[in-house]
Amino acid sequence: MISTERHYSLDEYRAIEEKAEGRSEYRDGEIVGIAGGTLQHSRITGNILTYLTSVLRDTQFEPINSDLRLWIPEHRRGVYPDVMVFEGEPQLNDNRFDEVLNPTVIVEVLSPSTADYDRQGKFRMYRSIESFKEYLLVEQDEPFVERYSKQAEGWLLTDFNSLEKSISLKSVQIELPMAEIYHGVVFE
């Protein structure tokens, strides 16, 4: 569903989203439907979430799947990252149990239709979140991951293109093997 005919209040969007069968993002008054993913996308997202959940168990970090909406106050956006990791308790927006404010790590598995938005527009908005420290952009058609890590002078890009490598996620103090990300994924 894409709505360009009228602007919706945040409360109207939330009421629609609570009853909707599919998910939509809120973009400062616009409601924009999110397309479903592919088998590759689902496998990769599941692999990342499963690995992070296992490795981060009994730590102060908690990975969460894409069912939880991230609210970005500065941009008045409600979005659904593929995976988020929180340090400590997720901070709820307006005491809502379906909307959070403070991820430390965000993971997006790229699709051809959303790759540019994830790399540019979304990343710019995510950077307005004070707790946000690392961003992973994961290709689904080849083993390739871009990691952006927050530095004192800006964001540092490091990319990974080998299943033998691991991604150091310093903000959560773990290594994420590329082989775990792409386990069971068949490339054409």
Give the separation between CA 156 and CA 161, rounded to whole angstroms.
17
Whether 24 is covered by a domain: the verdict is yes
Number of residues written out for the chain: 188
Q: Do residues 144 and 55 both lie within one domain?
A: yes
Give the separation between CA 83 and CA 46, rounded to whole angstroms.
9
Question: How many alpha carbons lie under 13 Å from residue 161 in its C-beta half-sphere?
Answer: 3
Torsion of CA 135, 60, 83, 156, to 10 degrees: 0
Give the separation between CA 69 and CA 79, rounded to whole angstroms.
6
Q: How far apart are the first and last CA of the chain?
A: 31
Q: What is the pLDDT of residue 188?
A: 79
Q: What is the pLDDT of residue 36?
A: 66
Q: What are phi and psi of 83, to 5 degrees?
A: -145, 140
Q: Do residues 101 and 138 both lie within one domain?
A: yes
Using alpha carbons only, what angle is made at residue 97 by residues 21 and 43, rounded to the nearest 5 degrees? 55
Q: Do residues 68 and 101 both lie within one domain?
A: yes
Q: Do residues 107 and 50 both lie within one domain?
A: yes
Contacts (Cβ under 8 Å, ≥6 apart) of 72: 78, 79, 125, 126, 128, 129
Please choose, from the candidates 114, 151, 119, 146, the residue with its C-alpha nearest in 3D space to the C-alpha of residue 132: 151
Predicted TM-score (pTM) of the model is 0.89
Cβ atoms within 10 Å, residue 17: 18
Please choose, from the candidates 83, 101, 84, the residue with its C-alpha nearest in 3D space to the C-alpha of residue 92: 101
Task: Dig out the tokens for 128 from the structure.
Answer: 């307005």
Residue with tokens 């890590």: 149
Q: Do residues 25 and 113 both lie within one domain?
A: no
Q: Do residues 66 and 51 both lie within one domain?
A: yes
Whether 188 is covered by a domain: the verdict is no
Q: What is the pLDDT of residue 1?
A: 44
Q: Do residues 20 and 42 both lie within one domain?
A: no
Query: Mean pLDDT in runs of 10 for the chain (188 residues)?
Result: 68 81 79 79 96 98 95 94 97 92 97 89 96 97 97 96 97 98 93
Expressed as residue numbers, the domain containing 79 is 37-181
Q: Do residues 169 and 122 both lie within one domain?
A: yes
Q: Do residues 10 and 95 both lie within one domain?
A: no
